[in-house]
Amino acid sequence: MEDEDDWRQCAEWLNRCQVLPDDHPVLGPNGNALHLVQALVDGVALCRVLGTLSNNQLDVRSMKDFSPNPQNSQFLCCQNIRLFTQLCEKEFDIARPFLIQPNDIYQAKNFGKAIALLSKLSLSPRAQLSGIVGFPPENSKLQTTHEYYNNLEEFAATLDKLPDPSRTNYAQMEEETKEKLYDTVVHQGSTSIYSTNSESVTARSSCIREIVDTEKNYVDLLKMLLEVCEFAFTIYVLLHYSQKYKAPLTGVLSPEELDEVLRYIEELHTIHRELLGNLSLATSQMNFVSLSEVFLQVRDRLLIYGKYCGHVQRAQSLVVELIRNDVDKRTRIE
């Protein structure tokens, strides 16, 4: 086997998986390993190959961590590569020693190991069920530790300046197979800046989407805490004042204890509920308000976190004390 034969076999395998087009430079007579780095650097081809190898049972495109058009965003590219690596372990039973870090590809720090992972993936039992021949051939070994790959890292930094003909080919291949690259389910049926397939998922829009999703989850959590608090207080009142219930107040937090444990939670819920509503307005197609205005309006109110953080240790200490001294309360809290 020639020293550089590993990357070429890898490229040919990716072509058999229909994630690299026939006219990609890496497959041409002047192709080299740097072209392969360029083809894999955004993680899109890596994620797409998993769908092919699983006979389309694994739809990476529908996963929230997948970005079909990361462009030059290091965050989104590395996120795609990280997702690919996680799925290699989870779905294809690739052992951890073979897994890579995103920068092994993104900065070509250890591209030889990346090729070794792809080889391991291509020969895995699940991948073999696809009927696609893996690499290297039987009775052959990879030469991924060869110094041929050592100089790739210094060239990888120039990748953002190099045109990649495969980018338009990806779109053409997707159109031919009628695969949908990206869909976002919009909460409560509202029209959002993320609802059109034609819009590129840039680093900015991805960050905004993450902010909105995180804010929604946080509001839901605060609401749940308040509902639990209200339920516990209702039980306390019934047990304490009703003539029907004479049982001792075990397993129930007193109003004082509830106030100590959940202090500032109601105020935080109100603030973040309004913030989420304003974020929804800012990210709608109508653009009722700008993102900067949303955060400027709420900036001073968020200073309540200073009080919350100053109190949270007392609340935690109380919970620890309750759990340690009262078995019934420990059961309810846990």
273-305 pLDDT, tens digit per residue, is 888 888 877 776 655 667 788 888 888 888 988
Across residues 152-160, what is the average pLDDT? 58
Distance between CA atoms of residues 208 and 199, nearest Å:
14
- The answer to whether the predicted template modeling score (pTM) of the entire model surpasses 0.85 is no
Which residue has tokens 């529908």? 62
Domains and CATH numbers, the chain: 6-168 (1.10.418.10), 200-331 (1.20.900.10)
pLDDT band at 42 (very low <50, low <70, confident <90, very high): very high
Of the two residues 283 and 115, the one the predictor is more confident about is: 115
Name the H helices within the chain.
Answer: 5-16, 33-40, 44-53, 74-92, 102-106, 111-122, 125-128, 152-156, 166-177, 203-241, 255-261, 265-282, 291-298, 304-325, 327-333
pLDDT band at 221 (very low <50, low <70, confident <90, very high): confident
Which range (23-32, 200-209, 298-307, 311-320) has the least confidence?
Answer: 200-209
Of the two residues 278 and 329, the one the predictor is more confident about is: 278
- For residue 146, give both structure tokens: 């060869």
Question: Quick one: the chain helix, strand, coil %, rounded to 5?
Answer: 65, 0, 35
- The total of other beta-carbon atoms located within 10 Å of residue 64's CB is 11
Note the pLDDT of residue 281.
Answer: 76
